[in-house]
Amino acid sequence: MSSSIRLGRLFGIEIGVNWSLVFVFALIAWTLATELLPFEVSHQPALAYWVAGAAGAVVFYGCLLAHELAHALVAIRYGVKVAGITLWLFGGVSKLDGEPKSAGAEALIAGVGPLTSLAVAAVMFVLSLLPLPLLLSGVLAWLVFVNIALALFNLVPAFPLDGGRLLSSWFWWRSGSRQRGVHSAVRISRVFAYLMIAFGVFELFTGQVLNGIWIAFVGWFLLSAGTQEEVGTAVRGLLRSVPVSAAMTSPVVTVPDWLTVAQFIESIAPDHPFTTYPVHDPSGQLTGIVRLGDL
C-alpha cells in the first residue's frame, strides 16, 4: 500500500489512491461503456457510452470513499487515530493507528462501512426512479448493484474485510479478550479463504479460467491478511507487557565529561560497538549523551 498517490485531505484525513486504481478505473469504464450500458440502453453514440462509463467509474470511487470515510469518522469518534485512507483494488483501506478500546467500538467502526454502502445503494435506487436520460438511469442502476455487492463482499467473515472485524469484535465481547477474539475470527477467516481457493481451483477445471484465478487470488489474499492480523495483534499484546529494560543494552559504557573528543575517539569508541554514550560528571551524575555521529 506504499505506492499510493496523494489526493488531498477530507475532515482532516489524508486521502490517497493506490496505483492499481488507474488500471481498475480503465477496466470499469471499459466494461460499462462497451458491455453493460449498450446491453441496457441500445442505439446511443459511442462517445455517450464512454462518457457515462467514465462518470460511473468516478462516482463508484466516490461510493468507496464514502464507505471508508464512514469507518474513519466512527474510528475517530471512538478515539482511534486514523493515519489515512487509501483506495485500492479491493475497495479501500482506512489505516487505523491503534486499536479500538472496546468490542462495541470495534463492531461500530467495522459495521458502519457496509451500512454506508447500503445507504448509498438506497439513494442511488431512489435517484434511478426519477425521469432521467436512459444512460444516466443505466449508470445509477449499476451503482445500486455495485454498492450492494460492496456491502455484501465486505460482510464476508474474513480479515481484513469488515465481516472479519465484526466477527472478531463478537468473539472479543464474548471472551473479554481482544487477542482471543482475533484468534477465533482468524480461524473462521481461514475456512472462508480455503473455500474460496478451492472454489477458484474448481472453476479453473470447469473452464472458467479467469474467474477461477480471480477467486483463488482473493482467497489467497484473505488467507495472508488473516495471518498478518493475528501476528500483529499478538505482537502488540506482547509489547504492552514488555518493559524497555528488556530491549536495552547493558552494561552501560559511560564517558567522563572531562575527556577530550580525541581521547574518547582513540581510547573508548574503538573498544565498543555503541553509537551513543552517556556522559557523567566527576561526581558520577549523568549529564548528557554523546553520539558518534555528532563528532
The residues of the shown chain that bind Zn ion, judged by CB under 5 A, are: 113, 154, 162
All 3 cell numbers of residue 189?
477467516
Catalytic (active-site) positions: 68
CA distances from 11 to 70, 87, 99 (A): 11, 16, 20
Closer residue to Zn ion in complex, CB, 71/178 = 71
| Most distant CA pair in the chain, distance | 93
Residue 18: phi and psi, rounded to 5, are -80, 150
Closest distance to Zn ion from the beta carbon of 117 (Å)? 8
Closest distance to Zn ion from the beta carbon of 269 (Å)? 53
Q: What is the DSSP string of 84-151?
A: EEEEETTEEEEEEES--SSHHHHHHHHHHHHHHHHHHHHHHHHHHTS---HHHHHHHHHHHHHHHHHH
In the complex, which residue's CB is closest to Zn ion?
Answer: 113
Closer residue to Zn ion in complex, CB, 36/166 = 166
Closest distance to Zn ion from the beta carbon of 75 (Å)? 11
Closer residue to Zn ion in complex, CB, 52/188 = 188
Closer residue to Zn ion in complex, CB, 162/203 = 162
Which 3 state secondary structure label does DSSP give 238? helix
Closest distance to Zn ion from the beta carbon of 114 (Å)? 7
Is 79 in contact with 11 (CB distance < 8 Å)?
A: no
